[in-house]
Amino acid sequence: PGKKVLIVYAHQEPKSFNGSLLKIAVEELTKQGCSVTVSDLYAMHLGGSPPMPQVVSVLWMLRDGPEMTVNRKNLSSFCKAGLLPLLTGSWKKAGTRFHFLSAQFPLFWFSMPAILKGWMDRVLVQGFAYDLSKSYDGGLLQDKLSLFSFTTGGTTEMYSKGGIGGDIRYVLWPMQHGIMHFCGLKVLEPHICYAPENVSVEKRKEMLSAWTQRLKTLWKEEPIDCSPEWYFK
Ligand code: FAD
Ligand code: ZN
């Protein structure tokens, strides 16, 4: 209870399987007494060019502690994202802490949808999420937890070591290690729903209740050992 949760969500359709997984997470975590914020990226039109106040408020959620360092590098990313006027205005507002960052999305091209990658590019900038010599276990967002929850078109067999897609962990490497761990976050086991389009309604219900069950004991989970061996051993 009292934990602050941020869920970045990337699916256009609320009635989708991803929409259902999101709804479950919001309901279950809220029930546990967490304060849950959802960034619905398509609804926020994050793909477009206008400045988005939501993105800025998310920045404040992400980082607690001392003010963010402004440097040439992150200034330029904020400018490119059209966020600078908003950001400077709210520079000194106290940031609320978040403890847990979760992403909910369908797997696109062995990766996250571009809109979600764009969120990562714009929000997790230098001086805020990492800095020179402040990365991985020394990243600026350390002591926070992250989790990737996603759906696939391919089946479990396809994403096994001998399968056509190779081990799903190869896909997780850039996201979990290259982004979250790089910024200092600890990584919980991913939550993957394989091929929801190709299974029976009963199986889909089962997958959804497995997610509910997992969320019930989420805070007791140990992070994975996010090292190259975890992915490629
Ligand atoms: P949906 O189609 O929304 O859901 C599946 C079914 O579940 C639907 O019938 C829906 O009605 C039903 N449902 C929703 N909620 C409930 C509920 N509460 N109870 C019961 N049933 C429910 N896949 C890969 O494996 N690898 C890739 O590299 C890849 N690249 C892609 C690239 C692009 C550009 C696109 C568009 C797709 C790609 N895919 C890939 C496929 C994609 O990952 C899947 O289509 C997606 O993960 C399915 O999730 P969804 O939420 O859209 O499913
Ligand atoms: Zn790692």
Contact assessment for residue 223 and residue 187, using Cβ atoms and an 8 Å cutoff:
yes
For residue 88, what pLDDT is reported? 41
Q: What is the reported pTM?
A: 0.88
Cα–ligand 2 centroid distance for 71 (angstroms): 26
Cα gap 64→4, rounded to integer Å: 12
Cα–ligand 2 centroid distance for 227 (angstroms): 4
Q: Does ligand 1 come within 6 angstroms of the Cβ of 163?
A: no
Whole-angstrom CA distances from 46 to 23, 40, 41, 61 are 21, 9, 6, 18
- Amino acid identity of 69? T
All structural domains of the chain, each given as residue ranges with its CATH number in brackets, are 4-232 (3.40.50.360)
Output DSSP code: residue 130: B
Residues 151-187 pLDDT 10s: 999 999 999 999 999 999 999 999 999 999 999 999 9
Ligand 1 pocket mutation, candidates 26, 27, 152, criterion most atoms within 8 A of CB: 152
Confidence label for 51 from pLDDT (cuts 50, 70 and 90): very low
Nearest CA to ligand 1 atom 23: 153
pLDDT at residue 40 greater than cutoff 90 = no
129: left (phi over 0), alpha (psi -120 to 50) or beta: alpha
Highest mean pLDDT among 57-71, 85-99, 171-185: 171-185
Give the CA-trace dihedral at 151, 157, 161, 167, to 10 degrees.
Answer: 0
Q: Write down the mean pLDDT value for the chain.
A: 84
